[in-house]
Structure 1
Amino acid sequence: MTSDAQTRIMAMLHAHMTDLEKGDPVAPPIVSTAKYWLPGEPDVPYTYGRDINPTVETCEAALSALEDAPVVGFPSGMAAITAALVTTLKAGERILVPSDGYYVTRALLNEVLATLGVQAEAIATRNYQSADLTPYDVVWIETPSNPGLDLCDIAAITARARATGAISIVDNTTLTPLLQRPLDLGADMVVSSDTKAIAGHSDTLFGHVATRDDLLFEQVKRWRKLSGSIPGPLAAFLTHRGLMTLELRLARMVSNAQALLPVLEAHPKVKTVRYPGIGFIIGLTFEDTTTADAFIEDCPAILPATSFGGIHTSAERRARWGDDVPEGFVRLSVGCEPEAALVEAIKVGLS
């Protein structure tokens, strides 16, 4: 781990501690209030719960230390994605999105923003490298793509987008700021579903937008206030708690994924294995739906559930959601189980 990464992790872990006074609680309090004591003029930071909450601010401060950028928290990853889209696009403008990326982003564009005059065009992630970016006002990047795990060069694409005047936005949910740094690679904005690895325990929804552009930050923050898309204090508390162990969990998850690779690659039931060289998600292709479902349901260590990034290893057959993948394609999200026991359990599921 680089010294820069260690510095950011240290800052994240101690972000809440900087303003503590003697006798203050070390764990951030869950401030559950809609109203604040507000006599006279509203000349204080806290005025109304739809706009601001101390527990949410604590979580944002930790995320900001990790991103090395200002952060706005949201009640889900899709709420963060929505904020990023509506604050960077207006009627008549065009956006490029990955056809193999998270399908709900495309659904939002095609079913909602299209009615407001936004034009979306989708191409495969692997084609971003050669795509002409001049027609677009916003370039949306997702790498590794979800669920197929294709890659593209963030730095090269954001540089080309900037040269044409386009805003570049990266969905960094899959790798988190610890494994990939889109803002350092030139992205104007990052979105993340913190429901996944960042919160990490499959018990809360949260999302965030990060940007070093002051105007974009203010626009996103204003959107949250006007739309009422502020996270609840309990969700913020749980996400902050998850952040405190993110580095440790990711290390185990990545190590486990890499230990599973030779087992999966050597097994005759597994037709193809996709792994981008980093991270905790592995793409597996089985012969058919029946074989894929049997692997998921017969493995004693697999939680059959959608989403990814939790402490439990989970898997799902993504074609059931309409993703453009083979019927036997399984997205395997590797968890924090003990390595040897997990490898043996996966072998059982493959038998």
Structure 2
Amino acid sequence: MTDDIADRAARLLHLRQQHLAKGDPVPLPITPASMFHLPGMPGGVPGYGRMDNPTWDAVEEMLTLLEAAPSLLFPSGMGAISAVMMACLNAGDRLLLPSDGYYTPRVLADRFLKNYGIEIEERPTASFAAGGFEGFAMVFIETPSNPGLDLVDIAQVSAEVRAAGGISVVDNTTMTPLGQRPLDLGADVVVASDTKAPGGHSDVLAGHVSSRSEAIIDAVRSWRTLSGGITGPFEAWMLHRSLETLEVRFDRMCTSAGIIAERLQGHLALTRLRYPGLPGDPSHNLAQVQMARSGFIIGLTLESEDKAEAFIDGCAMIQPATSFGGVHTSAERRARWGDAVPDGFVRLSVGCEPVEPLWAALKASLDRC
């Protein structure tokens, strides 16, 4: 972790203190209000629950500190992604998506954006820059890709997209602002699902949009207000609580994943292993340049669907579940959702368990496959 990221993580814990008067509660209160006291002309104070909420404000202040950019809170990662697309794309625009990233943006584009006259194109993450970006209004980047863990050179692609007159949007869900900083690398927009590691306890849905472009933030904020795509105050409060421990959890998860990935090399039950932190991984060299950590997700490929399911079900320290980034180590066979991966591919999300008991459980289950 760089000194700047560590400094931001430390300041995050004392951010609320700057607003406290004597006798105020140290934890953030929840403000479950749809109405606010509003005599006279509106402006300068909360006015209505679809437009303003002090609990959101506190979370957005934290996200703004972490991203070093104005940030807006949404009720899910897809809420954040769809807001950027709806606010920034117009009929006749071209949108480029990764063909092997998280599948829901592709479904959203195919099912709805096409109907609005937006042209959709797809490219694989590993060769994303091939063909250039001329004529694209928006280029949506996911790096590392979910679930394959291929990388895109954010600095190169963002610069080429800007030169071609488009905007670059980076989904940074797998890395968080503690592990990768797309805006610092030249991206126009960051989107993320805070349901994952930022929430971290598998009990809240949330997402955010960050950008240093005032015009983009204004457009996305307007879309949120008018569409009603807002986060409830309780969910915002839960995310605020979780963000205070993100650095500790993220450090433990990434450190453990690095240890486990190294030990998994050469295991006879695996036909392929993907982790950007391993020197032999196809993404390793670029990961060393643009990522502060190697992440907590490991891609494992076993010989068959049955062996992959047996590995997951047979490990006492794996929570079988979709999604990732929680305190519990979790895994799923991603082909069951239609991802273009082998039937035996498993996305393993390393949690916060002490690494030695976790490794022993993982190895024991793999040894039986």
TM-score higher than 0.5: yes
Deviation readout 1:312-349 (Å, 9 max, x if unpaired): 00000000001000011000000000111000010121
| Equivalent residue, structure 1, for 2:58 | 58
| Cα pair 1:101 1:147 within 8 Å, conserved | yes
Any idea what SS the aligned residue of 1:37 has?
coil
Measured in 2, the distance between the counterparts of 1:45 and 1:83 equals: 24
- The match for 2:315 among 266, 275, 299 is 299
Counterpart of 2:346 (choices 319, 330, 337) is: 330
Distance, in Å, in 2 between the alignment partners of 1:80 and 1:234 is 18
Letter in 2 for 1:96: L
Secondary structure of the residue that 2:259 maps to in structure 1?
Answer: helix
Cα distance per residue 1:241-286 (max 9 Å; x no partner): 1111111101110111111113322321111000112000000101
Q: Does 1:261 align with 2:277?
A: no
Question: Partner amino acid for 2:133?
Answer: L
* Distance of 2:215 and 2:117 partners within structure 1: 23
Which residue matches 2:28?
28
Q: Distance in 2 between matches of 1:248 and 1:114?
A: 42
Corresponding letter in the other structure for 1:32? P
State the alpha-carbon separation in 2 of the partners of residues 207 and 253 from structure 1: 20
Q: Distance in 2 between matches of 1:261 and 1:2?
A: 23
Q: Residue 285 of structure 1 aligns with which residue?
A: 301
Task: Spell out, residue by residue over 1:69-95, the C-alpha distance to the aligned partner (whole angstroms, 9 max, x if none).
Answer: 000000000000001111111100001
- Which piece of structure 1 moves more, 129-138 or 233-242? 129-138
Deviations 1:36-69 (A, max 9, x none): 1122322342110011111111011001100000
**In 2, distance between residues paired with 1:294 and 1:133?**
43
What per-residue deviation string (whole Å, max 9, x for no partner) do you get for residues 293-316 of structure 1?
000000000000000000000000
What are the superposed Cα offsets for residues 17-40 of structure 1, whole Å, 9 maximum, x if unpaired?
Answer: 211111111110011111111223
Structure 2-normalised TM-score? 0.94
Structure 2: give runs of 5+ residues left out of the alignment.
Answer: 278-293
Q: Which residue of structure 2 aligns with residue 349 of structure 1?
A: 365
TM-score (norm 1): 0.98
User: Aligned pair count?
Assistant: 351
- Structure 1 equivalent of residue 139 of structure 2: 139
SS of equivalent to 1:315? strand
The separation in 2 between residues aligned to 1:181 and 1:43, in whole angstroms, is 34
Pick which of 104-113 and 36-45 moved more: 36-45
Aligned partner of 1:321 in structure 2 is 337
CA contact (8 A) 1:12 1:63 kept: no
- Matched with 2:290 is none
Structure 1 residue runs of 5 or longer lacking an equivalent are none
DSSP-derived class of the 1:148 partner: coil
Question: Retained in 2: the 8 A contact 1:101–1:145?
Answer: yes
SS in 1 for 2:265: helix
Q: Is the 8 A contact 2:132 2:160 kept in 1?
A: no
2:227 counterpart of 1:227: yes
SS across alignment from 2:13: helix
SS in 2 for 1:130: coil
C-alpha distance in structure 2 between counterparts of 1:333 and 1:22, whole Å: 42
Alpha-carbon shift at residue 128 of structure 1 (Å): 1.4
- For the aligned residues, what is the CA RMSD? 0.9
> Counterpart of 1:159?
159
Q: Which amino acid aligns with 2:145?
A: S
Q: Check conservation: 1:16, 1:61, Cα contact below 8 A.
A: no
Find out whether 1:340 has 2:356 as its counterpart.
Answer: yes
Range moving further from structure 2, 30-39 or 323-332: 30-39
Residue 13 of structure 1 aligns with an amino acid whose one-letter code is L
What residue number does 2:194 align with? 194
**1:110 matched residue in structure 2:** 110
| Superposed counterparts of 1:242-257, under 5 Å | 242-257=242-257
**Secondary structure of the equivalent of 2:61?**
helix
- Aligned counterparts of 2:178 and 2:344: Cα–Cα separation in 1: 31
User: Do the aligned residues in 2 keep the contact of 1:11 with 1:66 (CA within 8 Å)?
Assistant: no
Q: Which amino acid aligns with 1:241?
A: R
> SS of the counterpart of 2:341?
coil
Matched residue SS, 1:210: strand
Question: How far apart, in 2, do the equivalents of 1:264 and 1:156 lie?
Answer: 32
1:216-260 alpha-carbon deviations (Å, 9 max, x no partner): 010011111001111011111111111111111011101111111
CA distance in 2, matches of 1:265, 1:200: 28
Distance 1:282 1:5 in 2: 23
In 1, Cα distance between equivalents of 2:122 and 2:14: 41
Match for 2:305: what amino acid?
T
Q: Is the 8 A contact 1:13 1:62 kept in 2?
A: no
Give me the whole-angstrom Cα distance separating, in 2, the residues matched to 1:118 and 1:307.
Answer: 29
